[in-house]
Structure 1
Amino acid sequence: MKLRPLEETDLEFIHELANDYSLMSYWFEEPYNSLEKLKESYRNNNSSESARRFVIVNENDMVGIVDLDYIDFIHRNCEIMLIVKPEFSGNGFAKFAFKEAVKYAFEVLNMHKVYLYVDTENEKAVRIYEKQGFKNEGVLREHFYAKGKYKDAAFMSILKSEWTENE
């Protein structure tokens, strides 16, 4: 299993994930994105310094994606987002990808803090993040709209000093 940078040839896979309502609701995103719009966005933003996108690969299978978004080189923080295709869930891919992306954020990008938003009802994800050393900084009440209702989102983060202690 490994992470590799997103390539234009991966966009059909990303399109499949981005249009899966059950998956995109975890990112509090609307599952609506045409393949052409995705390609255009890729071409326009591929050289952007504000994001790093990786594909999770196991042998010949694309398993999921992990993004470091909203990279802020002044305040030295970024958001991490992860999706694993349901058929690959429970095999350690999320844990691996999450750990590698956080390591990349701290060791390569020299971030001070990595943060995320998670649905407070998604207990499985919250446990994964806590095991990785993320701390709950608070709950944003009814902050996102997904699956037909407003959802509370926990704001969780890890500081580089905390991550270093756990390594």
Structure 2
Amino acid sequence: MRLRPLEKSDLPYIYQQENSRKVMALWFEEPYTSFDELQILYDRHVLDQTERRFVIEDHDDFIGVVELMYIDNLHRNAEIQIIINSEYQGQGYAQASILKGLDYAFKVLNMHKVYLYVDVSNAAAIHIYRKVGFVEEGHLRQHFFAEGAYHDSLVMGILATEFKHQS
């Protein structure tokens, strides 16, 4: 398994993810993106230094995406996001991908802290995040709207000094 930069040729896979209600509910976002809009967004953001988007790939299979977003070079922090395609969930890809994303954030981008938001009801994700070293930093009440309801979210973070993964 490896992470590689998102390429324009990956957009059909991203299109499938971004139009899945189940997938986008995990990111607290609306499942609505046209392919044309996705191409425009790609072109607009490909040179954006406040984000890095990676494809999770295993033997040329598109497993999912890891994103470092809102990269702040002054405060040295970034948000991490991950989506694993449903057919690959439960196979260890999420944990391995998060570790690779953190490794990149801390060792390449020199981030001090990486944080994320996760639905309080997403026990599987919370378990993985805790396992790799994230700690709960806060509980946001009814902070995100998805699937017709407001959801509580945990804010979790990990500091560079807490990150133990060796590449």
Check whether TM > 0.5. yes
Aligned AA (1:156): M
Q: Give TM-score, length-normalised by structure 2.
A: 0.97
Runs of 4+ aligned residues of structure 1 deviating over 6 Å after TM superposition are none
Q: Report SS of the residue matched to 1:14.
A: helix
Deviations 1:92-114 (Å, cap 9, x if unpaired)? 11111100001100000000000
Deviations 1:108-146 (Å, cap 9, x if unpaired)? 000000000000000110000000100000100000001
For 2:16 and 2:2, how far apart are their aligned partners in 1? Answer: 20
Count matched residues.
Answer: 166
Aligned to 1:77: 77
Aligned to 1:65: 65
**Alpha carbon RMSD of aligned pairs, Å?**
0.9
Aligned to 1:111: 111
Aligned to 1:127: 127
Q: Give TM-score, length-normalised by structure 1.
A: 0.97
Q: What are structure 2's unaligned runs of at least 5 residues?
A: none
For 2:51 and 2:84, how far apart are their aligned partners in 1? Answer: 19
Aligned to 2:7: 7
Deviations 1:18-75 (Å, cap 9, x if unpaired)? 1111011111111101111010011111000010000000102101001000000010
Aligned AA (1:3): L
Aligned to 2:102: 102
For 1:99 and 1:34, how far apart are their aligned partners in 2? Answer: 31
Q: Report SS of the residue matched to 1:54.
A: strand
For 2:6 and 2:116, how far apart are their aligned partners in 1? Answer: 20
For 2:13 and 2:59, how far apart are their aligned partners in 1? Answer: 16
Q: What are structure 1's unaligned runs of at least 5 residues?
A: none
Percent identity over the alignment is 47
Aligned AA (2:74): I
